[in-house]
Amino acid sequence: MEWTIQELAARAGITSRTLRHYDRVGLLVPSRVGANGYRYYNPTAVARLQRILLMRRLGMGLPAIAEVLAEEVDALDGLRAHIAALEEERDRIERQVRSVRHTLEALQAGVEPRMDVMLAGFNDLYKDEVISRWGEHAFQVSNDWWHGKSLDQQRAWKQDTEDLVAAWVAAVKAGDSPTSEHAQSLAARHVQWLSQIPGTPTAEGDRERSIEMVNGIGDMFVDDPRFAAMYDDEEGARFVRDALHTYAHTRM
């Protein structure tokens, strides 16, 4: 079975122009090109497009997606990883549905909805990850700290975070080295930012666990596409990782 480029674009909800661009950059080549110049795509090509669209949805850039696909030894393992990510997203959405339903039913009954239930699923995107890496206590304390802030305080914190990310991206674009004084000052700023979050080893002054945490966060920025996208692409994520590793090894 084959689809033409127009059929595939329509079914995938993208444009033929996008598919032609994917072909030009070597991300998704047609299964064959007919004598009339039409591009045709078989199930293998559609499966590859499926994965590309999933990674795009996670915020990955095309160069990063190309690298993932090029380095992948077994496409089945890649599909399994995507299924796991989608199941995690499904679980989060189901928690959101339950929390909104709770709010609706409480208001319909004329009673006050529980504030903690109302936000379930909206604030715990990385709950399992935090617990697996740093324990239930770290998640609970930091979660309580976040929801203890006023809306203005939350906005100010998010702005500080965005400013830090922007500074990292600017350093990469300026051609800085991860070991440069500027990059190391950003790493120090990043560690200081972490130390403001209760429940983290940096906040508790645990030097050994803080070093482990900073190294782990640096690795996570590269390994997890969700975080890599924060720094524009994998090059940016690697820069931040290397700078944090250097800081952890030499200055903590």
Task: State mean pLDDT over 9-28.
Answer: 91
Q: List pLDDT tens digits, range 208-252.
A: 989 998 998 898 888 877 677 788 888 899 999 999 999 999 999
**Which residues are CB-contacts of 39 (< 8 A; sequence separation ≥ 6)?**
4, 5, 19, 20, 23, 30, 33
CA distance 195 to 202: 5
Looking only at the bridges linking them, the beta strands covering 39-41 and 32-33 are: antiparallel
225 CB neighbour count, 10 Å cutoff: 21
- The confidence score (pLDDT) of residue 120 equals 55
Q: List pLDDT tens digits, range 167-181.
A: 999 999 999 999 999
pLDDT reading at 153 higher than 60? yes
Give me the half-sphere count of Cα atoms (radius 13 Å) on the Cβ side of residue 92. Answer: 13
Task: State mean pLDDT over 61-68.
Answer: 83
The pTM assigned to this predicted structure is 0.52
pLDDT reading at 122 higher than 60? no
Q: List pLDDT tens digits, range 24-36.
A: 999 999 999 998 8
Q: What is the dihedral of CA 23, 28, 31, 36, to 10 degrees?
A: -20
- The confidence score (pLDDT) of residue 251 equals 93
- Type of residue numbered 205: G
Using a 10 angstrom Cβ sphere, with 0-12 exposed, 13-18 middle and 19 or more buried, the burial of residue 140 is middle
CA distance 163 to 235: 19
Please count the residues of the chain: 252
Question: Do the beta carbons of residue 230 and residue 240 sit within 8 Å?
Answer: no
**Which residues are CB-contacts of 71 (< 8 A; sequence separation ≥ 6)?**
none
Tell me the pLDDT of the chain averaged across its residues: 83
